[in-house]
Amino acid sequence: MKTKQLITTLSIAALTLTGCGNSDEPETATQPEPVETAAEATTEDTEDFNPMDGAGNMPAGTFEVYPELGGHATFELPTDPGHEQVTPFEEYRQANNLEPLTYLVIDIDNRDGSEMLKFPQVTLFDEPGNAYDFQHIDSIITEWSPERSWDMDDEEFWAPDGTTISFEEYQNLESQYTELTEGVTSSVSAAEANSIILAYPGDDLPDEYTRVATITYGIGYEQDAYPTD
């Protein structure tokens, strides 16, 4: 009887000790930190993407642009007035006391292009938000030609700066002006390599630009140019 009682007492004690070693509340498993998926990261980056981020202020120098339908164009911004294609215009301007221009010669290689390139306009933007428009040289020098009164009784002739000149001087200036305008290129065909001259009416360009926008094919085809370096 005492032996059975002892065994029972030991069994109860063992169960009591076992119960004390276990917590009444179940242990909670540690949850891992959420990980951003590649798709989520890509979506966030795309929503925040700005094509001008990282460009910053771009100093004057050589720029380039690759038109959507092929070809490649480069230009020195601004182009030196001593450039061989610009010299005739600059000499005529100075000889006739005309307002200063800033030139832009665009060298276009359209040999692998499928459409004609025109570049009728290039617009620069500075940090304060000012815009500077370069247009085809033809549209800038329309007032460079000499004038005449067409008065058959007492006809008068004027130089581009308004100075009265003789008929012979008028003829000479008219010939020079015609030669200038007839020699310019307004477009570059597919498979062709050539240059187009643009000009800005003034000499007040900034030294740095936040954007250089080019119109490659015509109105509605705007592409940004970037420094070649």
In a domain, 153, yes or no: yes
| Residue-number span of the structural domain to which 215 is assigned | 61-227
Q: Could you tell me the two tokens for 210?
A: 């936040």
Structurally, the chain folds into a number of domains equal to 1
In a domain, 11, yes or no: no
Phi, psi of 78 (to 5 degrees): -85, 165
Q: What amino acid occupies position 130?
A: N
pLDDT in tens, 21-45: 444 444 444 555 554 444 444 344 4
Q: How far apart are CA 183 and CA 141, in angstroms?
A: 13
In a domain, 27, yes or no: no
Contact 135, 121 (CB under 8 A): yes
Instruction: Give which of 93, 199, 219 is closest to 140, Cα–Cα.
Output: 199
Reduced to 3 states (helix: H, G, I; strand: E, B; else coil), residue 148 is strand
pLDDT in tens, 170-215: 999 999 999 999 989 999 999 999 999 999 999 999 999 999 999 9
In a domain, 29, yes or no: no
In a domain, 50, yes or no: no
pTM: 0.75
